[in-house]
């Protein structure tokens, strides 16, 4: 069974991926990227048929960034 994953962004300006593996107590935290101001929105397009996911993040710095996440 593949791990469960969650992406988050917030006032710390950092976009993070959290991976929850079966049998593990604490999730694995991975830093994906950063903005110059608070992250307001995130969206995730899963890798159906490809080798990577796309994650978009929008910030109070008036930017929207798209990140490629390999798995």
pLDDT for 23 equals 84
Q: Which residues contact 42 (CB under 8 A, 6 or more apart)?
A: 7, 8, 9, 15, 55, 56, 57, 58
Range of the domain at 23: 4-70
CA angle 68-1-14, nearest 5°? 35
Cβ 30 vs Cβ 15: under 8 Å: no
- How many separate domains does the chain show? 1
- The model scores a pTM over 0.75: yes
Q: pLDDT tens string for the chain (71 positions)?
A: 778 889 999 999 999 999 998 888 889 999 999 999 999 999 998 877 778 889 999 999 999 999 998 76
Beta bridge partners of 5: 19
SS3 of residue 8 by DSSP: strand
């Amino acid at each position: 069974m593949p791990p469960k994953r969650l992406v988050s962004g917030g006032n710390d300006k950092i976009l993070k991926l959290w991976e929850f593996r079966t049998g593990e107590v604490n999730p694995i935290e991975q830093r994906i990227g950063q903005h110059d101001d608070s992250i307001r929105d995130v969206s995730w397009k899963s890798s159906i048929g490809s080798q990577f996911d796309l994650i978009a993040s929008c910030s109070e710095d008036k930017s929207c960034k798209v990140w490629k996440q390999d798995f």
